[in-house]
Amino acid sequence: MKYTEDHEWLNLDGDVVTVGITDHAQEQLGDIVFIELPEVGTQISKGDDIVVIESVKAASDIVAPLDGEIVEVNDAIVENPASVNEDAEGGAWFVRVKVDDTAQLDEYMDETAYKDLIA
Amino acid sequence: MSELKTTPLHALHLELGAKMVPFAGYDMPVQYPMGVMKEHLHTRAAAGLFDVSHMGQVLLDGAQAAVELEALVPQSVIGIEEGRQRYAFFTHRDGGILDDLMVANRGDHLFLVVNAACKEDDIELLRRNTALCRVVPVTDRALIALQGPAAEAALGRIVPVAEMAFMEVAVRPSDFGELWISRSGYTGEDGFEISVPEAAAEDFARRLLAMEEVAPIGLGARDSLRLEAGLCLYGHDIDTTTDPVQAGLTWAIQKVRRPSGSRSGGYPGDAIIGPKLSAADVDPDDRRRVGLVPDGRAPMREGVELFESESAETPVGRITSGAFGPSVGHPISMGYVPVRLASADTRIWAEVRGKRLPARVTDLPFRPATYKR
């Protein structure tokens, strides 16, 4: 598992990475009321805004952590945005990305480094 | 940035784990660990305690107080019965709104509650325009709102309040000193606002919070509660650029102050507001505050521009408040649109993140109030 400074978690399986937000992130956002996901097949570049999350407080974006193609999105969280508050690091993942170059993950933090960041 | 002010309940907020934010120059709780959504629902189901001590409390003392205040607001102040209060607003000579406030008649004086961000200007305005009464800012009292269906039972354990009706005021001795109580609030719920001596404020709040029904509620839920109730937030939904007719606040202007009333006019902006109060000649290009319900689930927040069609180039209005409404279960907004688009069920388009999303004009409030009349 890898973590970004934007509080995303990345779980690599083969050349597909599952992207979600950390428990710390959902706590900071507060009650989530709306999520907009990209379409399957979308080509993304690192830094693109790919997901919109609105909480009771404000709107925020999830940026693409790497280059690739969206191969799967979690429609269940669109139906039930509050599930991200309950299970951010489990079932409430956001998108799966087929990555162009798995070496792009190397720059991200491991769990220990991320825990230091939010401590 | 200058140092933030604190209320007498500041230490208690921190102890309760509140997330604090700057608001109108004060360090205020935006939410507690319960979170905005649950705080909102708790208030509607039981009772919420809100620290509103940042708001201005002002006494207008003197036999001519009501007469002098009537020169600054389009309300009938003389007509407020002793032991009652009324919603009012200070108007500008251009017809805009300088602040909205509550005015209570407490026998030999008036008691005003004004918005935090406006209180210094309001006091200055009152001082400049009153010759016969004394303007006395109350700076040694906290103000606590207790809102929700269980508010009467909770406060009733400290002082008798069951006999009070909506918009009645009373002064009651208590274990916490003299309480100045009004049966009112800004959530659409039955409830009370209680002015309590500063030194006893924390003990008073703790006594209420120890009751099972009562939870502390932050500014986040206060905002979604008042929005569901269709109530204006000064500086957002109303300000110096909106007149009371545009803002849909004509219900708060009594007959006696309207054209052909016995104390017609005589307030700043009467030449602009007065003629607009006669419904016969509505300008279709004038604007109105309306409720808006998005078709989809994306909240349409303050500042979002409104369009007459999906492709129209020029905006026709703007959203002034928008959020998810926890009790209604969908996003809700208020904003201004031209009169011709202001009737219920009119289709309107809002531009959110570069996309035109449909919404529907709707009557306010989004959720009926439950005041104890």
Q: Is the pTM of this model over 0.80?
A: yes
Can you read off the two tokens belonging to residue B292?
A: 């808006």
Distance to chain B for A63, nearest Cα, Å? 15
Taking only the tens place, the pLDDT of each residue in B281-340 is: 788 889 999 999 999 999 999 999 999 999 999 999 999 999 999 999 999 999 999 999
Report the topology of domain B283-373: Elongation Factor Tu (Ef-tu); domain 3 (2.40.30)
- The distance of B319 to chain A (nearest Cα, Å) reads 15
Of A34, A56, A59, the CB nearest to B297: A34
Please report, for residues B79, B144, B158, B171, the alpha-carbon distance to residue B48 in angstroms, rounded to integers and kept in the order given: 32, 10, 16, 22
B-contacting residues in A 60-119 (Cβ below 8 Å): none
How far is Cα B201 from Cα B51, in angstroms, rounded to an integer?
A: 10
* CA closest to B38 among chain A residues: A31
Judge: B353–A56 Cβ closer than 8 Å, yes or no.
Answer: no
Total domains present in chain A: 1
The answer to whether A91 and A98 have CB atoms below 8 angstroms apart is no
Listed by start position, the domains of chain B span: 10-56+140-228, 283-373
Q: What is the CATH number of the domain that holds A48?
A: 2.40.50.100
Range of the domain at A51: 2-118
Mean pLDDT of chain B: 96
Instruction: Give the DSSP letter string of B65-103.
Output: HHHHHHTTSSS-STTPPTTBEEEEEEE-TTS-EEEEEEE
Instruction: Provide the H-helix boundaries in chain B.
Output: 10-15, 36-45, 65-70, 119-129, 151-156, 198-209, 219-228, 270-276
Flag if B331 and A34 touch (Cβ within 8 Å): yes
CATH superfamily of B10-56+140-228: Probable tRNA modification gtpase trme; domain 1 (3.30.1360.120)
Task: Please compute, for residue B77, the number of CA atoms within 13 A of its CA located in the half-sphere on the CB side.
Answer: 28
- Other beta carbons within 10 Å of A5: 10
To the nearest whole Å, the CA of B201 is away from the closest chain A CA by: 29
Q: Is the ipTM of this complex over 0.90?
A: no
**Nearest by CB to B324, which of A36, A52, A56?**
A56
Q: How far apart are CA B319 and CA B98, in angstroms?
A: 20
Q: What is the pLDDT of residues A15-64, one digit of tens each?
A: 999 999 999 999 999 999 999 999 999 999 999 999 999 998 888 999 99
Please report where in the chains the tokens 């220990």 appear, as a residue. Answer: A112
Tell me if chain A has a CB within 8 Å of the CB of B53: no
User: For the residues of B102-155, what is the DSSP string, one character each?
Assistant: EEEE-SSEEEEEE-GGGHHHHHHHHHHH-SSSEEEEE-SEEEEEEESTTHHHHH
